[in-house]
Amino acid sequence: MSFRKSHPPIGARPGTLAIPPDSPPPQIRLVAYDAQGVEERDVGDVETLAALPGDRIIWVDVRGLGDETVLRRIGELFAIHPLALEDAVNVPQRASSTLYENQQVIVVRVPRIGEDGTIDAPQVCFVLGPRFLITFQERPFGFFEPVRARLRAGIGPMRTLGPDYLGYALIDTLIDRYYPIVQTLSEEMEELEAEVIEHPLEDSLAKIHQVQRKLVLLRRIGAPQREALAALLRDHSPLVGEPVRVFLRDTYDHAAQIMEAVDSTREMGIGLVNLHLSNVSQRTNEVMKTLTLVASIFIPLSFLAGVYGMNFDYIPGVHQPESFAIFVGVIVAIAGGMLWWFRRRGWLGSRRR
């Protein structure tokens, strides 16, 4: 999920919809509710949306973007700004919050971690009007089920507050999805830390790099999200009432907490890379000391043995019977002296306290 945008051709006019080729056809689910009750149904024909009763709050959940005609028709029916429709369809957009006259358009990216550990971040776009909320999902995800259940049950201010509260509840649900991912990455990093400190493996660093990459990715998705929520709070959108703002501030705090966790995990990773590098250097140093020790003792001794193996007719001491004992004595003395010198330099013995 790197930088890849199903972008309209360069120079295309704004509002051009670049529908990804593998998009499923849109499933439209209509929810109309007020304090008294909730009515839910799937909408087969988009024209049904043209004649909605005005007294209830309308939530149109569009799942799948594979039919331009339908999307354009929804855009017309709810007077959605062409750029807002473009944001909804041309995925992935940067998370953002924009006010178009009397509609607040919020783009949310929902991080998911796949079976194989890759992260992707499908997009959900919210178009919030005075009495309706439209959500565009790339494909039919199950993100919204818990909120739908709360809506049916009518718990809390769910049905008494306007569509802004519904939008908040949905966005909060999506932001919550960051937690398990950040926790997974954080735990992976902690396991890698134990591994690096206790018994580093050849591919430890590559694994740290993989986790770091996912954190960079998560940051790239999540930081604009936090900013978008901050902007929504700061700009005092007329479509978000004061009671809902209090809740949104809580969501913002969650987003900020998530980004701080991402950042401190990344810093931990940077520290781990340094630790690992130093471990490798230290192990190389250990290996070198062993080699130097063995070679420095035996290479000179070998030379000495070689000298007495030469075929010169006259080599001093060759014929004395005590020579071998003297030779052994000299050798032991040399070896002992070098060991003493190595020990003095601290190259012998463990240094771990």
Binder of a second copy out of 114, 319, 344, 349 (CB under 8 A): 319
Regarding 6 and contact with a second copy (CB under 8 A), the answer is no
Binder of a second copy out of 96, 137, 225, 237 (CB under 8 A): 96
Regarding 97 and contact with a second copy (CB under 8 A), the answer is no
Regarding 340 and contact with a second copy (CB under 8 A), the answer is no
For 179, the 3-state DSSP assignment is helix
Judged by phi (left if over 0) then psi (alpha if -120 to 50, else beta), residue 337 lies in alpha
d(CA 255, CA 264): 14
Residues 6+ apart with CB under 8 A from 181: 111, 112, 113, 119, 218
Regarding 332 and contact with a second copy (CB under 8 A), the answer is no
Q: Is the distance from CB of 64 to CB of 139 less than 8 angstroms?
A: yes
Residues 6+ apart with CB under 8 A from 119: 1, 111, 112, 113, 181, 214, 217, 218
Nearest to 269 by CA among 337, 186, 164: 186
Regarding 313 and contact with a second copy (CB under 8 A), the answer is yes
Only segment of 37-45, 71-79, 125-133, 296-304 that touches a second copy (CB under 8 A): 296-304
Regarding 141 and contact with a second copy (CB under 8 A), the answer is no
d(CA 11, CA 218): 30
Peptide bond before 130: cis, by omega within 30 degrees of 0? no
Regarding 268 and contact with a second copy (CB under 8 A), the answer is yes
Closest to a second copy by CB, 209 or 236: 209
Phi, psi dihedrals of residue 285, rounded to the nearest 5°: -60, -45
Site for a second copy, residues 185 to 244, rule: CB under 8 A: 186-187, 190, 197, 199-203, 205-206, 209, 212-213, 216-217, 219-220, 223-224
Closest to a second copy by CB, 324 or 340: 324
Nearest to 86 by CA among 12, 17, 4: 17
Q: Is 46 exposed, middle or buried (0-12, 13-18, 19+ CB in 10 A)?
A: buried
Only segment of 26-34, 47-55, 116-124, 319-327 that touches a second copy (CB under 8 A): 319-327
Regarding 152 and contact with a second copy (CB under 8 A), the answer is no
Only segment of 5-13, 45-53, 66-74, 233-241 that touches a second copy (CB under 8 A): 5-13
Q: For the CB of residue 256, give the shortest distance to a second copy in the complex, in Å.
A: 7
Closest to a second copy by CB, 41 or 249: 249
Phi, psi dihedrals of residue 268, rounded to the nearest 5°: -60, -40
Q: For the CB of residue 224, give the shortest distance to a second copy in the complex, in Å.
A: 7
Q: Where are the alpha helices (DSSP H) in the chain?
A: 68-77, 82-89, 145-153, 163-176, 178-198, 204-234, 242-308, 323-344
Site for a second copy, residues 163 to 192, rule: CB under 8 A: 169, 172-173, 176-177, 179, 182-183, 186-187, 190
Binder of a second copy out of 79, 277, 333, 348 (CB under 8 A): 277
Binder of a second copy out of 156, 238, 336, 337 (CB under 8 A): 156
Q: For the CB of residue 162, give the shortest distance to a second copy in the complex, in Å.
A: 16
Closest to a second copy by CB, 96 or 237: 96
Site for a second copy, residues 51 to 90, rule: CB under 8 A: 81-83, 86-87
